[in-house]
A = this chain, B = another copy of it.
Amino acid sequence: MSKLLDDVVSELSRLPGVGRRTAMRLAMHMLRMEEHDVMLMTQAMARFRSDIRYCSRCNNLSDGDVCEICSDATRDRSTVCVVEQVKDVLSIENTRQYNGLYHVLGGVISPMQGIGPSDLKIDLLLDHLASGDVREVILALSTTVEGETTSFYISRRLQACEGVRLTSIARGIGFGDELDYADDLTIAHALHNRRPL
């Protein structure tokens, strides 16, 4: 077998969800692409891995020392939304409903996976709050055991911050979800937190 083909299949197989069969399909697709376009792709990958940084304020991915959002003067600096991962920032940005800042923890507390509070960027969040600009911290973590544990831990750490309101995004039945597919805990919570129409 061609060493060039063998190499590209082996390398692509390192990616999550890509087995040798998929890697082969990707390699064959690359042959149908213009060589120039393949070069643009590999350059974008290499540049991303070598040049990307983490924002020194919010830990979001950033091209420079401070990310686009943190350095955007039109954003509301009194609100910080705490999320687990970079992609959560994108999910919230896509809604165009939020104009505050973010703070990316980089994960959730998970003793099973050996991730403790010190592995998350919680001190960086406290540093940010110490600046005194922030009036509200919105926790937008997963509703898993790990997410809830992390929310609880952060709420304890933030008790010392005076003048900062701590909130959580609403839990309930999602739009488009059917009630009989929702779990008991979600339904119970949704019932308990019912709102006037």
Contacts of A62 on B, CB cut-off 8 Å? Answer: 2
Residue contact B63 to A24, C-beta cutoff 8 Å: no
Whole-angstrom CA separation of A2 from B90 in the bound complex: 11
Which positions 1-25 of chain A face chain B at CB distance < 8 Å? Answer: 1-5, 7-8, 10-12, 14-17, 22, 24-25
Residue contact B1 to A45, C-beta cutoff 8 Å: no
Quickly give the copy total for this chain: 2
- Knowing A28-B85, A52-B31, the reply to whether A11 touches B45 (Cβ < 8 A) is yes
Minimum CB–CB distance for A105 against chain B, Å: 14
Q: In this assembly, does A33 line the interface, its C-beta being within 8 Å of a C-beta of chain B?
A: yes
Identity of the chain B residue whose Cβ is nearest the Cβ of A85 in the assembled complex: B28
Residue contact A26 to B15, C-beta cutoff 8 Å: yes
- Knowing A12-B41, A38-B45, the reply to whether A63 touches B2 (Cβ < 8 A) is yes
Contacts of A52 on B, CB cut-off 8 Å? Answer: 2, 4-5, 31
Secondary structure at chain A's binding surface: helix, strand, loop or mixed? Answer: helix
A-side interface size class: 35 or more
Q: In this assembly, does A27 line the interface, its C-beta being within 8 Å of a C-beta of chain B?
A: yes
- Knowing A12-B41, A35-B49, A42-B46, the reply to whether A63 touches B29 (Cβ < 8 A) is no
Q: In this assembly, does A37 line the interface, its C-beta being within 8 Å of a C-beta of chain B?
A: yes
Residue contact A14 to B28, C-beta cutoff 8 Å: no
Contacts of A140 on B, CB cut-off 8 Å? Answer: none
Residue contact A27 to B39, C-beta cutoff 8 Å: no
Q: In this assembly, does A44 line the interface, its C-beta being within 8 Å of a C-beta of chain B?
A: yes
Q: In this assembly, does A68 line the interface, its C-beta being within 8 Å of a C-beta of chain B?
A: yes
Point out the residue from B7, B12, B50, B90 that lies within 8 Å of A35, measured CB to CB.
Answer: B50
Residue contact B16 to A29, C-beta cutoff 8 Å: yes
Residue contact B85 to A4, C-beta cutoff 8 Å: no
Residue contact B90 to A24, C-beta cutoff 8 Å: yes
Per CB-CB distance, the 8 closest pairs between chain A and chain B, nearest first, are A8-B48, A42-B42, A11-B41, A38-B49, A11-B44, A7-B44, A42-B46, A8-B44
